[in-house]
């Protein structure tokens, strides 16, 4: 069975029914994926738009595609995730899976037990790297929304932001048995928080809980941070949001 191939375009860049791929997307389309004139592909604009297109012409640096149809997805659910920075391969996996599930916003979180710390140029490079992982995950999965990537923050700044959310949930093995239901209540965004390997320090945990984060157990066993990230996100989306009409 043929697999849909997705490529990225800039929102609003389609003119007179024609989309143009250049730069890295041209390279991926023509050099890597070996797409040729007449081939059908799909284009993502990162804002909910999925375009069905057919390649009309390819020159040395650009591919010209005729847009055949446009589908607009529903807005992402208002669920954000704060992820403590861990070793790159595992953090990348958490970013990829949260993107595929439909997280609205990702907040990289520096904590006492994080394996990486940095400011200035190093922090900017880290964000750019995360953004590349998000794009790759959307192209693989067909997710039409690119989650926002917040600047790297710390526990103090995150705690100050908790009041912006209707509710915040801290993945915490010590929270006791999993609750039967978080409960659906209308309006407002929610936040999931996942710590690094070894968890947050007692002082960090107290700061978050005192700031309003609710400890939530994901089961009796200790989960890796990346596993806890997409388990918590899935649970929040499943229990806090209205059921999908097709389910």
79-240 to CATH, choices 3.60.110.10, 3.30.1330.10, 1.10.10.10, 3.40.1280.10: 3.40.1280.10
Confidence of residue 182 (pLDDT cuts 50, 70, 90): low
pLDDT of residue 3: 77
pLDDT at 117: 54
Segment 208-220 mean pLDDT: 93
Q: What is the pLDDT of residue 88?
A: 85
Phi-psi region of 7 (alpha: psi -120 to 50; beta: other; left: phi over 0): beta
Of the pLDDT bands very low, low, confident and very high (cuts 50, 70, 90), residue 233 is very high
Neighbours of 226 (CB within 10 A): 23
* Residue 121: per-residue pLDDT: 46
The Cα 13–Cα 120 span in angstroms is 32
Instruction: Give 247's pLDDT tier (boundaries 50, 70, 90).
Output: very low
Structure tokens at 157: 């700044």
CATH code that applies to domain 6-72: 2.40.240.20
- pLDDT tens column, 113-168: 887 655 544 455 478 889 999 999 999 999 999 999 999 999 999 999 999 999 99
**What is the rounded CA–CA span in Å between residue 158 and residue 67?**
42
Section 175-180 average pLDDT: 52
- Residue 123, pLDDT score: 56
pLDDT band at 219 (very low <50, low <70, confident <90, very high): confident
Distance CA 185, CA 188 (A): 9
**Percent of the chain clearing pLDDT 90 (strictly above):** 72
Cα separation, 30 vs 168, whole angstroms: 44
Indicate the domain borders of the chain.
6-72, 79-240
Which one, of 104, 234, 216, lies nearest residue 167 by Cα? 216
pLDDT 10s digits, 59-103: 999 999 999 999 999 888 899 999 999 988 899 999 999 999 999
Same fold across 6-72 and 79-240: no
pTM given for the model: 0.85
């Amino acid at each position: 069975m043929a697999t849909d191939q997705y490529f990225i375009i800039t929102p609003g860049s389609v003119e007179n029914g024609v989309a143009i791929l250049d730069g890295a997307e041209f390279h991926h389309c023509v050099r890597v994926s070996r797409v040729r004139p007449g081939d059908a592909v799909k284009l993502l604009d990162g804002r909910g738009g999925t375009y069905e297109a057919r390649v009309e012409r390819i020159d040395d640096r650009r591919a010209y595609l005729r847009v055949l149809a446009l589908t607009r997805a529903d807005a992402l659910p208002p669920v954000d995730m704060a992820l403590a920075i861990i070793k790159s391969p595992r953090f990348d996996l958490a970013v990829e899976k949260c993107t595929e599930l439909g997280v609205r916003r990702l907040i990289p979180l520096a904590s006492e037990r994080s394996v990486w710390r940095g400011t200035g140029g190093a922090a900017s490079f880290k964000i750019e790297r995360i953004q590349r992982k998000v794009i790759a995950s959307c192209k693989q999965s067909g997710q039409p929304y690119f989650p926002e990537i917040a600047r790297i923050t710390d526990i103090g700044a995150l705690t100050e932001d908790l009041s912006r959310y209707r509710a915040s949930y801290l993945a915490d093995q010590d929270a006791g048995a999993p609750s039967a239901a978080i409960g659906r209540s209308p309006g407002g965004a929610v936040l999931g928080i996942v710590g690094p390997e070894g968890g947050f320090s007692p002082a960090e945990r107290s700061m978050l809980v005192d700031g309003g984060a609710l400890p939530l157990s994901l089961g009796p066993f200790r989960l890796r941070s990346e596993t806890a990230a997409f388990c918590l996100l899935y649970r929040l989306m499943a229990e806090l949001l209205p059921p999908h009409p097709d389910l």
